[in-house]
Structure 1
Amino acid sequence: MNDDPLERLRAICLALPEATEGGGVGNPSFRVRNKIFAMRHDLHQGRWSFWCKAGPGVQEMLVAAEPERYFVPPYVGHHGWVGFWLDVDPDWELVTDLVQKSYLMTAPKRLVAQLS
């Protein structure tokens, strides 16, 4: 398995039907039909993070349970997105699950059906 967090995230995201990568240099976003379902961000704190949509209550649960690992990201946090720091040994199984669920909340029904 690749130790570069961005490469791992890229592999997880781009394995999903019609997922594409876009965004600015250094802060890529992952999209389906031009709708963002996940992104990496710097936050200008010298720490890389990754943000994705989360289902109802998931953001609150993760942030309350492990605030050193998870956080409410600016701009999209009030829409339920959750952020996690990439320098705090990410739980890659949970990351994969969160990304897949974010994709399912974003993708058209036809693409969601391909994953069933």
Structure 2
Amino acid sequence: MVHEQISSIEGLKMVAAVRELAMRLPEVTEQIDAFGHTSFRVNDKPFVIMGEGGIDGPSLSMKVLKTTQEMLLTQEYFYKTPYIGHHGWVSILAKNVTSYNDLEDYIREGYMCAAPKRLVKQLQGQPR
């Protein structure tokens, strides 16, 4: 299987929107892996992974708490992320995202799941 970086217009818009939200958080890095997935990481732990290549277009996966995952899975467009869903990952296709700002709390939650305690404390002390 050939893996390519995100290159569709819809995929690039998704990456730009998520980048704007994720890079507001302390010590976040962006990385593209060997599969062409773009991820946002803290302490080298991913909390957002995006990719494309399926027939349904680009997708966004986020690490969330299990309780949040259960709640999101009751909504129409969210689904358990293949291979890593049992670790609390949930995904949505870019075409089903009405506003990336609506996902900001979940991106922040994923960050707090992956970040070291010192960064979580730092973030909790900051206004949004």
Q: TM-score under structure 1 normalisation? A: 0.85
The structure 1 residue matched to 2:64, chosen from 47, 54, 59, is 54
Q: Pick from 86, 91, 101: which aligns with 2:109?
A: 101
Q: Is the 8 A contact 2:60 2:92 kept in 1?
A: yes
Residue of structure 2 in register with 1:89 after alignment: 97
RMSD: 1.8
The Cα offsets for residues 4-58 of structure 1, whole Å up to 9 and x where unpaired, read as 2210101111111000001237421111111111110225224111111111222
Aligned residues: 112
Distance in 2 separating the partners of 1:89 and 1:103:
20
Question: Which runs of at least 4 in structure 1 moved beyond 3 Å after TM superposition?
Answer: none
Larger of the two Rg values belongs to structure: 2
Identity of aligned residues (%): 34
Opposite residue 42 of structure 1, the aligned amino acid is E
Query: Could you list the runs of 5+ residues in structure 2 that have no partner in the other structure?
Result: 1-11
CA contact (8 A) 2:64 2:109 kept: yes
Displacement of 1:95? 0.9
Unaligned ranges ≥5, structure 1: none
Task: Give TM-score scaled by structure 2 length.
Answer: 0.78
